[in-house]
A and B are shown apart, each in its own frame.
Chain A
């Protein structure tokens, strides 16, 4: 269970302060997924960095299972917007990094890695370095690293942004399969309304400058079989678009 209370973040530049997030309140049940939609620059990445324990200087409280955020105690899978791969590690080493830092034995993961590589379409790229991969391939390596870790909390910053429409749908299903298996609490940032409706049990709309929560929607269609072809799905996406337009123009 994740509880965010009155979270505010200000960035300190050389001269001035800049409020990136203002008074965010959000609750997420354990095992729930939550999609965050917001205009560019509204503080979505900032919110994820707080949850990942990277930004530690904030006002308010953020708790995972009633504990303050402590990356060394909790297992957090974080996919930053720039994928967060280390350029001097090849694909295999990058994927194993999370498990290595967490001290999981490498032998037990080998089977999982083979499966993940297969599912994410990364087979045959194990020895390549990030500099030798396309953006979408790098993104999938980042996903593999996060999934392998079997985290308690999965944070994904626009995790499918670099993928073509077809691959994107496939990888979304890979994510859902992983989510079903481990029921990992997930927060993902997206700019796609359809993606939010497909992957978010909760959908949170943020509005601009400084970022505040403008609407939280409980998504009735989450997890429905083959929902992408239902009339309801299109309906909900349409409604959501309208809502977002209203919220952002306020």
Chain B
């Protein structure tokens, strides 16, 4: 029943967005806002030959960036949450660097890592990793000390404590942080894809705009938002499966 109602929720959401779009295009009545029907028609015809490859590139960069952020952010956050010494040593560094708008670092990163994939993935990584570190650390710190008692009395080692307590307890906070960071990551990815590459949704959308092909531009925007939908619903799904309790 629950699965069904989330499915219904998505259909409902899509319907609302389409309705607003339709109204807007009817009111403005200019080629700059084509009606959703025409755009969807165009999308169906150009998706496989033109857009799919760009979508895959963008998706791949996001997945790579998230993967790196998880690989580094979760262990760091767990250690900072559990070992007071790690926290004392690393928190100042995190607090100093976290507020820097990552987009401001883009020129530096491009100088160091070139215009290619590495710079784009790194940008996503930088945006997500701080949120993950702080969320996981706070998740660990908010575990009541009684939770550890059964493991202490069993003589559990650090590895046991990480596996049985720290990781499962901080998982919900981690997924929330990922959700929060994801939207920013997608917007910044869009921006970085407007130069130094021939692939990616950012490139496709800007290219269509330059060619004054509004139909393709809107098709690209629709695909971008579908990518977002897929990412968010994947996070929701993982949360439901692993954080049922």
A interface with B by C-beta (< 8 Å): 49, 52-54, 70-74, 76, 78, 80, 82, 84-89, 97-98, 101-102, 129-131, 145, 149, 155
> Chain B interface mostly helix, strand, loop or mixed?
helix
A102-B154 contact given A88-B168, A88-B169, CB 8 Å threshold? yes
- List 8 tightest A-B contacts by C-beta distance, closest first: A72-B155, A71-B155, A78-B153, A52-B153, A84-B150, A88-B168, A129-B245, A101-B154
Q: How far is the CB of A189 from chain B (nearest CB, A)?
A: 15
Extra A-B contacts (6), CB below 8 Å, given A78-B154, A88-B243: A52-B152, A71-B154, A78-B149, A88-B245, A101-B155, A129-B244
Report how far A131 CA is from B153 CA in the complex, Å: 23
Within 8 A of A (CB), among B229-245: 243-245
**Interface code B142-176, partner A: CB below 8 Å = 1, 0 otherwise?**
00001101111111110010001100110100000
Q: How far is the CB of A164 from chain B (nearest CB, A)?
A: 25
> Chain A interface mostly helix, strand, loop or mixed?
loop
Tier of interface size on chain B: 20 to 34
Q: For A85, what are the chain B residues with a Cβ–Cβ distance below 8 Å?
A: 150
Q: For A129, what are the chain B residues with a Cβ–Cβ distance below 8 Å?
A: 244-245
Q: For B160, what are the chain A residues with a Cβ–Cβ distance below 8 Å?
A: 101
Report how far A97 CA is from B244 CA in the complex, Å: 19
Q: For B244, what are the chain A residues with a Cβ–Cβ distance below 8 Å?
A: 129
Report how far A98 CA is from B150 CA in the complex, Å: 8
Q: How far is the CB of B12 from chain A (nearest CB, A)?
A: 30
Closest-by-CB residue of A relative to B154 is A101
**Interface contact B169-A54, CB-CB below 8 Å:** no
**Interface contact A80-B155, CB-CB below 8 Å:** no
Q: For A82, what are the chain B residues with a Cβ–Cβ distance below 8 Å?
A: 146
Q: How far is the CB of B84 from chain A (nearest CB, A)?
A: 16
Report how far A216 CA is from B168 CA in the complex, Å: 44
**Interface contact B150-A78, CB-CB below 8 Å:** yes
Report how far A24 CA is from B164 CA in the complex, Å: 34
Q: For A86, what are the chain B residues with a Cβ–Cβ distance below 8 Å?
A: 147, 150, 164-165, 168
Report how far A92 CA is from B123 CA in the complex, Å: 43
Closest-by-CB residue of A relative to B243 is A88
Q: How far is the CB of B234 from chain A (nearest CB, A)?
A: 21
**Interface contact A97-B155, CB-CB below 8 Å:** no
Report how far A98 CA is from B151 CA in the complex, Å: 8
Say which residue of B150, B155, B164, B171 sits within 8 Å of A70 (CB atoms).
B155
**Interface contact B151-A52, CB-CB below 8 Å:** no
Report how far A89 CA is from B141 CA in the complex, Å: 20
Q: For A149, what are the chain B residues with a Cβ–Cβ distance below 8 Å?
A: 154
Report how far A101 CA is from B155 CA in the complex, Å: 8
Q: How far is the CB of A83 from chain B (nearest CB, A)?
A: 9
**Interface contact A87-B245, CB-CB below 8 Å:** yes
Q: How far is the CB of A219 from chain B (nearest CB, A)?
A: 27
**Interface contact A84-B146, CB-CB below 8 Å:** yes
**Interface contact A53-B155, CB-CB below 8 Å:** yes
Q: For B165, what are the chain A residues with a Cβ–Cβ distance below 8 Å?
A: 86
Q: For A102, what are the chain B residues with a Cβ–Cβ distance below 8 Å?
A: 154-155
Q: How far is the CB of B79 from chain A (nearest CB, A)?
A: 20
A53-B245 contact given A88-B168, A97-B164, CB 8 Å threshold? no
**Interface contact A101-B146, CB-CB below 8 Å:** no
Closest-by-CB residue of A relative to B242 is A88
Closest-by-CB residue of B relative to A48 is B153
User: What are 7 of the A-B contact pairs (CB < 8 Å)?
Assistant: A76-B155, A84-B150, A86-B150, A97-B164, A101-B151, A131-B245, A149-B154
Report how far A3 CA is from B83 CA in the complex, Å: 33
**Interface contact B149-A101, CB-CB below 8 Å:** no
**Interface contact A80-B146, CB-CB below 8 Å:** yes
Closest-by-CB residue of B relative to A71 is B155
Report how far A98 CA is from B156 CA in the complex, Å: 9
Report how far A37 CA is from B149 CA in the complex, Å: 22
Report how far A53 CA is from B150 CA in the complex, Å: 10
**Interface contact B164-A54, CB-CB below 8 Å:** no
A71-B245 contact given A82-B146, A86-B165, A88-B169, CB 8 Å threshold? no
**Interface contact A76-B153, CB-CB below 8 Å:** yes
**Interface contact A71-B153, CB-CB below 8 Å:** yes
Say which residue of B154, B243, B245 sits within 8 Å of A76 (CB atoms).
B154
Closest-by-CB residue of B relative to A56 is B152
Q: For B153, what are the chain A residues with a Cβ–Cβ distance below 8 Å?
A: 52-54, 71, 76, 78, 155
Report how far A149 CA is from B168 CA in the complex, Å: 23
Report how far A101 CA is from B151 CA in the complex, Å: 8
